[in-house]
Amino acid sequence: MVNPTGKEGELMKRRMTFWLSVAGILALVSVPGGTARGQKAPKVVNLPKAKEFRLERSMPESAVACLECHKQENPGLFADWARSRHASANITCLDCHQAEATDPDVSQEHFKQYQRSDNPWGQAKYRVPVAAVVTPKDCSRCHPDEVTQYNRSKHANTLEIIWKLDPWLNEGMNSAIERASGCFYCHGTILKVKDGKLDPLTWPNVGVGRLNLDGSKGGCTSCHTRHRFAVMDARKPEACGQCHLGPDHPQIEIYQESKHGDIYEAFGHEYLWDAAPGTWTPGVDYRGPTCASCHMSGAGQVLTTHDVTERLSWESQAPLSIRPSEFKPFPAQTDWKVERKKMQAICMQCHSKGWVEDHYTKMDLVMKEYNDTYFKPAKKKLDKLYAKKLLDKSKFFDERLEVEFYELWHHEGRRARMGAQMMAPDYTWWHGFYELKNRFVRFVEEANDLIKHNRKAYRAVEYPAATGTTTKPPEVFGKANK
């Protein structure tokens, strides 16, 4: 289900209107009996028209020009658009790419297309300023609810979050190109224009928290690839798996290992992937859930959301597992108990209450075990080393124990927690608690040794490519600050 203030909300209202009218007719049919008992005939209420909706099939000639010329220039791109629901709804290139003449990202090169003599559509009268970048703000003209939800999410705000807490960035431990081709590829770049063109260090990019020139956050194509803009690819786990993978957040591997992933492998080809937005029904359109089913798509009374922080009762990316509202860099405006009920309601489309609650009981115990048995004691040891000045606090990652501590929570600590959340015992145990235990033992052994001999840890003098700027980007924080 979609937020009832949106288009589908209108659809729901329309359906309601239909049933209300049916009720009205039934009431009329029963009138004779009513009057027989001396009651007044019920008044037929004239319900207000549910909404205005007009589809205009015409399009301006300048829009026809885009289509005709690009059909020749980029048949692949055109075909994607032609098969999209946008094309059926008469949403053209112009509706998304037309820019204000003064926008910084207007393609100056593109104006040359309107001086072409080899193409009938290359005429000055079709000339329109276009920009390649299409932002959530542009989509929000027609999809305001999705964009409002997205704006609250950690996806949209990830640049602020990572700059607030990550030592790689805050202590300049990696270089600009390592960041651009690594971190920011997934998290998003800050788009910049250089010499009238988009700066290639920042573009192309569809990171979830990309900061756009119009101030909006994100790129909707991180999950809905252009120009199909389908719900289909976003509903498949692979859409999330491009970023949610690897040693520190192996959600796609966890999913593949789970029964839900097995079922997707076996029956995925039978799922109704392109069911209309908000109508994708668990158990009916698909047998086993995907990432989207549990984290985003609506089911039962739970509405579709573009805020992936909804439905979570734990913040388990953090070193210490806490509630999402307690996460200092970006406290969620949610109540974990309410959100847990929402997720459980999704599970209960296919499972019984007891099954689901018992799963959560185990999950909570895993969180506690990780926090109390591993993380807290390791943190205490690390603090002791700093207090005794056996480890140097000015830089992270330049001493081996710091790396060990980091991987303890950031790699195996997350794997244990997330494996348990999403039903993957191999991640919970072999890639999780087993390695956590190993790491913990090594970490404590070496720490104790340093303390016993009052010996300072070896510091890497030659730390490669530690050239990244430590100035927090003013675009994210308002003004430049260290």
Alpha helices by DSSP H, listed for 30-143, are 31-36, 61-73, 75-82, 85-88, 93-97, 136-140
Q: Kindly report whether the peptide bond that precedes residue 324 is cis, defined as omega within 30 degrees of 0.
A: no
Identity of residue 261: G
The CA-to-CA distance between both ends of the chain, in Å, stands at: 44
Size of the site for ligand HEC (CB under 6 A): 134
Least distance (Å) between residue 153 CB and ligand HEC: 7
Cβ proximity to ligand HEC: between 260 and 381 the closer is: 260
Nearest Cα residue to 191 out of 145, 142, 243, 136: 136
Token pair for 431: 């890639």
Tracing tokens 């244990």 back to the chain, one arrives at 416
Q: Which of residues 282-321 bind ligand HEC (CB under 6 A)?
A: 282-283, 286-297, 304, 306, 308-309, 312-318
CB-nearer residue toward ligand HEC: 379 or 384? 379
Q: Which of 231, 302, 391, 408 binds ligand HEC (CB under 6 A)?
A: 231
Q: Which of 51, 116, 376, 455 binds ligand HEC (CB under 6 A)?
A: 116
Q: How far is the CB of 299 from ligand HEC (least distance, A)?
A: 7
174 or 382: CB nearest ligand HEC: 174
* Region near ligand HEC per CB under 6 A, out of 219-227, 372-380, 428-436, 472-480: 219-227
CB of 389 to ligand HEC, least distance (A): 27
Q: Distances in Å between the alpha carbon of 366 and those of 53, 285, 354, 360, 374? A: 51, 33, 19, 10, 11
Residue (of 288, 272, 229) closest to 423 by Cα position: 288
Distance of CA 52 to the CA centre of its chain: 32
Position 52 contacts ligand HEC (CB under 6 A): no
Asked if 316 contacts 331 with a C-beta cutoff of 8 angstroms, the reply is no
Rounded alpha-carbon distances, angstroms, from residue 470 to 169, 182, 270, 343: 6, 17, 50, 39
Q: 279 CB contacts (<8 Å, ≥6 apart)? A: 285
Number of helices (H), then strands (E), belonging to the chain: the values are 25, 2
**Distance of closest approach, residue 6 Cβ to ligand HEC, in angstroms:** 7
Which residue lies nearer to ligand HEC by CB, 307 or 399?
A: 307
Q: What is the dihedral of CA 382, 385, 391, 395, to 10 degrees?
A: 40
259 is a site residue for ligand HEC (CB under 6 A): yes
The reply on whether position 229 binds ligand HEC by CB under 6 A is yes
In the complex, minimum distance from the CB of residue 151 to ligand HEC, in angstroms, rounded to a whole number: 8
13: contact with ligand HEC by CB under 6 A: no
Q: Does the protein bind ligand HEC through residue 174 (CB under 6 A)?
A: yes
Q: Does residue 85 interact with ligand HEC by CB under 6 A?
A: yes
Q: Which residue of 119, 170, 225, 371 would you call a contact of ligand HEC, by CB under 6 A?
A: 119
- If the CB atoms of residues 252 and 382 are measured against ligand HEC, the closer one turns out to be 252
Minimum gap (Å) between residue 280 Cβ and ligand HEC: 4
Q: Which of 75, 70, 77 is nearest to 227 (CA)?
A: 77
How far, in Å, CA of 106 to CA of 311, rounded?
A: 39
CB of 25 to ligand HEC, least distance (A): 30
411 lies in the site for ligand HEC, by CB under 6 A: no
Residue 98 is encoded by which pair of tokens?
Answer: 């037309």
Cα 307 to Cα 12, 173, 296, 331, 342: the distances in Å are 22, 31, 7, 14, 13
DSSP-derived 3-state class of residue 221: helix
- CB of residue 21 to ligand HEC, shortest distance in Å: 25
Instruction: List the interface residues with ligand HEC, window 178-217 (CB under 6 A).
Output: 182-183, 185-187, 206-208
Question: Phi and psi for 122 in degrees, rounded to 5?
Answer: -90, 50
Nearest distance from C-beta of residue 375 to ligand HEC, angstroms: 14
Q: Tell the smallest beta-carbon distance from residue 202 to ligand HEC (Å).
A: 11
Binding residue (CB under 6 A) for ligand HEC from 99, 251, 370, 411:
251
Site residues for ligand HEC, 351-370, by CB under 6 A, read 351, 356, 359
Q: Which of 226-234, 372-380, 395-403, 452-460 is the region at the interface with ligand HEC (rule: CB under 6 A)?
A: 226-234
Helical packing angle, 376-387 and 400-407, nearest 10°: 160
What minimum distance in Å lies between the beta carbon of 197 and ligand HEC?
8
- Considering the rule CB under 6 A, would residue 240 count as an interface residue with ligand HEC? yes
